[in-house]
Amino acid sequence: PMKDRFLLLDELWKVQRANGHLPTAELRRLAEEFDLSEIEIEGVASFYHFFHFKPAGRHTIYLNHSILSEFQGLKEVREAFERATLARLGSVDPSGEFGLFETSCVGLSDQEPAALIDFMPVTNLTPDKARRIVQQLRAGLSPESIADEVEERIYYLGENDEVVFFRPYEPGRILRKLLDLSPEEVIEQIRDAQLAGMGGAFFPTGTKWDSCRNQPGFPKYIVCNADEGEPGTFKDRVLMDQLPGLLFEGMAVAGYAVGASSGILYLRAEYGWLLPKLEGTLTQFRERGWLGRDILGIQGFHFDIRVQVGAGAYVCGEETALLESLEGKRGEPRTKQYFPTERGYMGLPTVVNNVETLCAAARVIELGSAFFGRLGTPSSCGHKLLSVAGDCSRPGVYEIEWGLRVSDLLEECGATNTRYVQLSGPSGTLITAGEFDRQICHEDLSCGGSVMIFDDRRDLLQILRNFAHFFRQESCGVCTPCRAGNLILTRKLRKLALGLGDPTDLQDLRSWGALMKASSRCGLGKNASNALLDAIRKDLKYFRERQSNNGHALSRGFDLKQAVQIYEKFKS
């Protein structure tokens, strides 16, 4: 029988794990099994960064090339891996043993430089450690035995009795609260707590759940967006590693509230090492009757969860692109004709929330909306998790109360001589030293979760060029403003870095940035120029100092008058 399309990514992973790449014969077999053309199968596979059409080595090494890794010694680590493996970056060594590649942030920003070896994490890399890892692999040690135990550094700023996320967790306690609550009352609690989506858009969660509940389509779905791809962000990784049960209870609460029967956790491939823990927790939940049919004896409350592993595409963090990927397609964002709550996964009503939002929802049901209401600011109730990394002595995940001043956070994490702070990753907001008195909250500085700290040793253009390269690599290429715009920004920034810029380049950067914000198809293109535009607006002196006195000559077209003058001079 023909296989369901949504299984395609899983089947591609099976083929690649068995062969080290995707052989043509296997793609042809999949085309027959899924009743799709070979071109369609290739089109899907080619969209994702981690699928290879040629042998990628018996061991694949992916180095994280985020700006935080760059500043912590990535160049030296990369060179050590190249010498030890005999593989040039982006290729396989002559023996076929090692494939050495770069990838975007792997969610280990507090332990840089980091890498994935056969998708197992290694952290705090040095050239010596890189050489030792290669020696161990050559000696036959497994990547699992070499992998580092990821250290979870968790800090709480506030009173202990006000902890929201990282308070003691009692499995099943939150689900038992549903015995005394109707679905409508659950949604009312979420509304009263003013819980907003924690991924960066901050859409009211209660409104989203209510919209899905009132849709006529069935079945309905709860999708957890665990594609935490924004560079510098790792809070969801810590939640899944430390509190997987809390997340699954949050998904079940959402399912109960909207009348959904299925939940899907979309796990980014870079977090594949968390899969055994997640699957083990799901098995325990089923054994205890917390997933399945008539959960806890509640008639009609049928809900189960499966995990779908992605394959490396930042744009799949956008909810409609994620839904396309879940359906076994290229992860290209949909046009905004319908909200996912109207037509989502398989065209049916779907709630898409990220890991932190669902964990917060679970705590709302456990602690009550009044508990959340007394925390934070008037427009930002409750707590927020921040992934803090960069030039500070205590990187990690910080649970803060909304309204915390940036200066207080910098003091707590041990940051000194800070020059810039990038909030919400490359697509977020860049602030300079004069703004550190501002508050992290919806009324002032919204933050999706990433806080990158840069001190006075760091060059702003190096930061912006890294961001621009990231967006150029991750653009799906469907719309021209994003596809062409990111390329142009990359080239203009390189010109400035070489000291060859002129005033027209700054104006071009502003114009292209504004064009991308106004006309890109999805949030990737709309937000790709945010940090750049912030930097130009807030530190114009820096850019003017990097202009060439005669750089304008590079921008000139053909000057007929000058050409004729030179000709006449030589003729005479």
Which of 235, 72, 67, 214 shows the shortest CA–CA distance to 153?
235
Query: How far apart (Å, rounded) are the C-alpha atoms in residues 374 and 371?
Result: 6
> 383-455, what's its fold?
Ubiquitin-like (UB roll) (3.10.20)
Q: What's the confidence (pLDDT) of residue 547?
A: 81
- Length in residues, the chain: 572
Q: What's the confidence (pLDDT) of residue 546?
A: 84
Question: pLDDT tens digits for the chain (572 residues)?
Answer: 789 999 999 999 999 999 999 999 999 999 999 999 999 999 999 999 999 999 999 999 999 999 999 999 999 999 999 999 999 999 999 999 999 999 999 999 999 999 999 999 999 999 999 999 999 999 999 999 999 999 999 999 877 789 999 999 999 999 999 999 999 999 999 999 999 999 888 999 999 999 999 999 899 999 999 999 999 999 999 999 999 999 999 999 999 999 999 999 999 999 999 999 999 999 999 999 999 999 999 999 999 999 999 999 999 999 999 999 999 999 999 988 899 999 999 999 999 999 999 999 999 999 999 999 999 999 999 999 999 999 999 999 999 999 999 999 999 999 999 999 999 999 999 999 999 999 999 999 999 999 999 999 999 999 999 999 999 999 988 899 999 999 999 999 999 999 888 888 999 999 999 999 999 988 889 999 999 999 999 998 999 888 876 655 555 555 667 777 877 777 76
Distance of CA 432 to the CA centre of its chain: 24
Which of 426, 437, 429 shows the shortest CA–CA distance to 466?
426
Q: What's the confidence (pLDDT) of residue 553?
A: 53
> 59-146, what's its fold?
Glutaredoxin (3.40.30)
pTM: 0.94
Letter for the amino acid at 279?
Answer: E
> 155-374, what's its fold?
Rossmann fold (3.40.50)
Q: What's the confidence (pLDDT) of residue 445?
A: 95
Q: Say if 59-146 and 155-374 have the same CATH topology.
A: no
φ/ψ of residue 21, rounded to 5: -165, -170
Architecture of the domain made up of 470-551? Up-down Bundle (1.20)
- By CB atoms closer than 10 A (0-12, 13-18, 19+), residue 455 is middle
The β-bridge partners of 384 are 400
Q: With contact defined as beta carbons under 8 Å apart, do 211 and 341 qualify?
A: yes
Domain ranges of the chain: 5-47, 59-146, 155-374, 383-455, 470-551
